[in-house]
Structure 1
Amino acid sequence: MPHSDIRYATGRCGLGALLVARSPEGLCAISLGDDAGALVVALCARHPHARPDTDLAALQRVAAFIDTPGEPLGLPLAPQGTPFQRRVWQALGEIAAGETLSYTDLAQRIGAPRAVRAVAGACAANPLAVVIPCHRVLRRDGKLAGYRWGEARKRQLLEREAQAGINP
């Protein structure tokens, strides 16, 4: 069931354009891209009644979280998804900064070792960029796989975590 009262703000972070959307329950979308307008169009396609937010505190906190690996977010999260997707997202949240897993390892962690493709699909459907750290999941051979917000951003996120000395 879609949230009916969604407010969003756009800005920039070290990874480019940033959109942060919140419902009364918490953050429901964090998107990255090259063009803030395109991020708004994509959000409004999923949530037609979303409207601009004049309170920029959440946007500023998310930007700081993205730009400073290890920074606590301290905001409630309210991602929408199926029970399976939420299970995957919960497991993603348990991957420490500086650590990576393969999709196979993640499927095993959630007790669904044969659901590797479904796990990858849940990662691709992640509505909260960086906060739900799907960028920490790699192919079994250790190479980068696709990333909803661009493979270059995934590489940059992993490099930032490594440079910040954040290790498991």
Structure 2
Amino acid sequence: MTTLGFALLLIGAMLVVAEAHVPGGVFGVSGGVALIAGGILVIAALGGGAALAVPVAVGLGLATVGWALLVTRKVAGAQHGRIRSGAESLCGSVGTVRGWSEPAGQVFVGGALWRARRSWGDVDDAVPLHEGDAVVVERVDGLTLSVRPAEEWELIA
């Protein structure tokens, strides 16, 4: 009986770790049940009574539920994060005009010089862009950025 209890504890721990790598809830719940059952079996096999087995089982179950909730929240947060690499990460970035002749020019954004054009529907089309003006990247189309003049609140860092 002791061997079965230790095997269930080991399997439960492996299932909880698997839940961290493949979140979905099934591995976490199964791991929690295996930990609870394994804890009860080990304590009962070693001569402990129900007064000891139940609190240990409840503690193991709560620890497993806490771990599963933590992992689930971390995964959910990671799925909703901003893109941090590639050209798509430039959207929303503030850059500086290096040269401009309507309707296109060059802007310095993210440590590189990019070809740029005005965003479609830019309400400030009448205001020309000059070297040194701050612009915000609205969209990335291939190697060309669609930009608009930056508003004052966007320049506060």
TM-score relative to the length of structure 2: 0.23
Answer 1 or 2: which has greater helix percent.
2
Structure ranking higher on relative contact order (CA contacts 8 Å, 6+ apart): 1
**Structure with bigger gyration radius:** 2
TM-score relative to the length of structure 1: 0.22
